[in-house]
Chain A
Amino acid sequence: MANSKNVLFGLYNDDDILIDAIKAARNQKLDIMDVFTPFPVHGLDPALGLAESRIHIAGFVFGLIGFITAMGFMSWISVSDWPIIYGGKPYWPVLSFIPITFELTVLFSAVGMVIVFFTICGLGPGVTAKVLDPRITDDMFCIAFDVSNMEENEKAGLQKFFEETGASEINQKTI
């Protein structure tokens, strides 16, 4: 593969040890490629220094599109395309548009956000998972380093880091 990476990774058998190891790696200014865990570990994002997810912006934008679509469409129909008086109400009975507007706002927001989530994460049906170790979705916690362009002594340093921080296994794999 053209953009395959050579990955050196350590497996930890507890989330507390993992967090400590990540903190140690950050202190030593090691460049962590990624961390893989079987569940969302509490305190992982601040330890890794991940910026807060901005997926809610997508939710807002799509929600707004849904709101405008619903309101605009119903207004255009009842005011301009085919005006009908229902029960003596005005042509633009905005109150009775509220339920559908609400539903479409929620619908657009939810669908849009999920599509954005899968797109930015690169997930989807047919995507092959680059699994470093099958136990990562079970009970192993993994810190991975990209060692494609690394000297041997640098690799040895990482090896030492894994040993010091209590990794139960250290492996290398090309993904």
Chain B
Amino acid sequence: MGSIVSPIREPLVTGNKTYNQITEDICAPTERAPSISWVIAFSVANALAAVFLFTSAWTIWQGVGTWDLNRTIGWGWDITNFVWWIGIGHAGTLISAILLLFRQKWRTGVNRAAEAMTIFAVAVAGQFPLIHMGRAWFAFFVFPYPNTRGPLWVNFNSPLLWDVFAISTYATVSVLFWYVGLIPDLATVRDRARGFRKKIYGIFSFGWTGSAKHWQRWESLSLILAGLATPLVLSVHTIVSFDFATSVIPGWHTTIFPPYFVAGAIFSGFAMVQTLMIITRYVLKLQDYITIAHIESMNKVILLTGTMVGVAYLTEIFVAWYSGYIYEQFAFFNRAFGPYWFAYWAMMTCNLVSPQIFWFKKMRRNLYVTFIMSIFVNIGMWYERFVIIATTLARDYLPSSWSLYSPTWVEIGIFIGSIGVFFTLFLVFVRVAPVVAIAEIKHILKSSGDQYLEKQKEYVQKQQFSEKN
């Protein structure tokens, strides 16, 4: 069943699976005791998460003065981390929504984990504006609510406020999309479980039975949510880029920012998906569902978006030169040859040069290369935000106010700790929920499973043979 897939396509489910085997394989990690490697990873992640809690508490208690920001460089590691995490949070919705609209079947192997990753990355990113406020208990001031100060409303013309709406909408819609997709699979786990586990999964699977009408509505809902999430995911990083682009700082005030930020976000998001997937598929033994074909497809996206980002870097330099505007020219000269030259060249190497290795099929299909590259991209994209934010601010219009900036232990702790929070959430997720969308894999089995594709290949060859004779 299912639509016909060309037999020259690579299978997306290998190992001659039956429906039952798919259930067994994917549910298994949630049903057995955690492995030693999981326990070790979880302990490390927890320790780092504790560092995050401590350093953010320190920040809130002492004030943002504990950071090394100054009057010239008002944004440093804080906003860099925020934009980095938000960017990482873009791949999940791209995979699940845009690839669903484009009918890319390879999304089924990775969409669940990528969506989870998105939600956790956005959750981590959401912490940053809170601690940036210094007085985090006044965070609700960002929402337009009737208050006793007039009421004095928030400024609806400010991109920073647009960001509040964009990110909270994005977080909400991502959670809904993810959870609606998760319900049938939670029902599968429920029907296999006993006792207390059955009760828990019974509550979280919302009484799902798999009725034909429910499936029909479920599919319809997923499609429309995908249609809504597609412009949404593009809007979120566009609005993040407006935070910079609507200012009058040379190096920020550019119209290229929205598409360039979106491409960069997808780029870094896919890199993080690769980092996680390569480990997950190995540890949970899901190589039959997250195949080399999946890894290769994602590497193609990384190559494309990395090159788009690279073109944007070069365009910026060209436009700076072509504008004849000395402040703009200086901003870019300063990025490459100023005090933070290393950040600029790290960014260029990691984001523009290194992904070009993926022009070679052998490299796209090599797990070690992919893993190292994914780390490179994560580093490169962090540096990109640092270059845009701190380097640009360090050398502004007045040489008398030029300054330098290096992070304090608090800022470093917040960053390292945020990685711990992210991995804590992800590791909990792989223990309690199916990491691969069971129902969706079953749905594509008969069109993209290896045994079925093989049969179709034989059929096509027979036909060609009879046509010849």
A124 pairs with B225, CB closer than 8 A: no
> Total A-B pairs in contact (CB under 8 Å)?
198
Q: Is the interface of B mostly helix, strand, loop or mixed?
A: helix
A103-B169, A137-B187 known; A44 vs B2 contact (CB < 8 Å): no
Q: In the bound complex, do residue B442 and residue A38 qualify as a contact, i.e. CB atoms below 8 Å apart?
A: yes
Within the complex, what minimum Cβ distance (angstroms) separates B103 from chain A?
13
Which A residues are in CB contact (< 8 Å) with B2? Answer: 42
Give A97 to B204 CA distance when docked, in angstroms: 38
Distance in Å: Cβ of B295 to nearest Cβ of chain A: 24
Determine whether the beta carbon of A77 is less than 8 Å from that of B157.
no
B378 close to chain A: CB less than 8 A: no
A19 at the interface (CB under 8 A from B): yes
Give complex CA distance A102, B235 in Å.
9
| CA distance in complex: A35, B165 (Å) | 41
- Give the interface size bracket for A toward B: 35 or more
Q: Give the residues in chain B near A154, CB-CB below 8 Å.
A: none
Q: Of A19, A120, A129, which is in contact with the most chain B CB atoms at under 10 Å from its CB? A: A129
Residue A146, interface by CB 8 Å: no
Given the contacts A59-B228, A113-B224, A40 and B172 also touching, CB distance less than 8 Å: no
Do B169 and A114 touch across chains, with their CB atoms under 8 A apart? no
Question: Do A38 and B19 touch (CB < 8 A)?
Answer: yes
A123 to B439 Cα, complex, angstroms: 18
Interface size on B, residues (CB 8 A): 69
Smallest distance from the beta carbon of A73 to chain B beta carbons, Å?
7
Closest to A126 in B: B203
A36 contacts B by Cβ under 8 Å: yes
Provide the bound-state CA to CA distance between A136 and B216, in Å: 16
Please determine whether A138 and B1 come into contact, CB atoms closer than 8 angstroms: no
Q: Is the CB of A137 within 8 A of B1?
A: no
- Shortest Cβ distance from residue B149 to the other chain A in the assembled complex, whole angstroms: 10
Q: Which residues from 45 to 103 on chain A have a C-beta closer than 8 Å to any C-beta of chain B?
A: 45, 48, 50, 52-53, 55-56, 59, 73-74, 77-78, 81-82, 86-87, 89, 93, 96-97, 99-100, 102-103
Instruction: Please report A residues at the B interface, Cβ cutoff 8 Å.
Output: 15-16, 19, 34-45, 48, 50, 52-53, 55-56, 59, 73-74, 77-78, 81-82, 86-87, 89, 93, 96-97, 99-100, 102-104, 106-107, 109-111, 113-114, 117-118, 120-132, 134-139
Report B's interface with A, CB cutoff 8 A. 1-3, 18-20, 23, 144, 150-153, 155-157, 159, 161-162, 165-166, 168-169, 172-173, 176-177, 180, 183-184, 187-188, 190-192, 202-221, 224-225, 228-229, 231-232, 235, 239, 242, 438-440, 442-443, 446
Besides A129-B190, A136-B210, 4 new A-B residue pairs in contact (Cβ under 8 A), listed by A number: A40-B439, A102-B235, A111-B176, A121-B213
